């Protein structure tokens, strides 16, 4: 039986615990291949693999520049920003780049990120109790 190719998800998270938690929770969605990256340089060294989605934090202008670089190299890659940053001006600049999936880190943000991915790919997670 041939399985469809897995959708490649890159997670850029400098907090190792948060990155692993996100990977574990999103791993409940079938059909995804998820990799964590501790920094932008490491992620960019593999961007030629053209992931379908990059989930990235956003703490300052440098992160915004990285997101712009990713979009310029792989314009078909969807970007989801998952950040504690609530600076309205910075969020507006993110949206000016055409990125509208901006999720503020809070209770429930991983579940919402999972829902965004499921809608994006038309997928369902394996168990409704995964995050309960």
Sketch out the chain's domains with CATH numbers.
7-121 (3.40.50.2300)
What is the structure's pLDDT at 124?
Answer: 55
Report the alpha-carbon distance of residue 21 to residue 98 in Å, rounded.
Answer: 27
Q: Which of 78, 67, 91, 71 is nearest to 118 (CA)?
A: 78
- Nearest CA to 40 out of 22, 77, 60, 13 is that of 13
Q: Does the structure show a pLDDT above 80 at 132?
A: no
Provide mean pLDDT across the span 74-85: 89
CA nearest to 79, candidates 57, 60, 59, 62: 57
Query: Using 50, 70 and 90 to split pLDDT, how confident is the model at 14?
Result: confident
In whole angstroms, what is the distance from residue 121 CA to residue 15 CA?
Answer: 27
């Amino acid at each position: 039986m041939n399985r469809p190719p897995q959708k490649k998800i890159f997670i850029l998270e400098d907090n190792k615990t948060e990155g692993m938690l996100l990977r574990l929770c999103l791993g409940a969605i079938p059909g995804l291949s998820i990799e964590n990256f501790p920094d932008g340089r490491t992620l960019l060294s593999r961007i030629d693999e053209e992931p379908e989605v990059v989930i990235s934090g956003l703490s300052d202008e440098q992160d915004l520049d990285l997101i712009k670089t990713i979009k310029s190299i792989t314009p078909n890659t969807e970007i989801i920003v998952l950040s504690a940053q609530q600076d309205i001006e910075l969020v507006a600049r993110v949206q000016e780049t055409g990125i509208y999936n901006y999720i503020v880190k809070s209770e429930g943000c991983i579940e919402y990120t999972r829902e965004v991915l499921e809608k994006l790919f038309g997928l369902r997670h394996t168990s409704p109790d995964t995050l309960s």
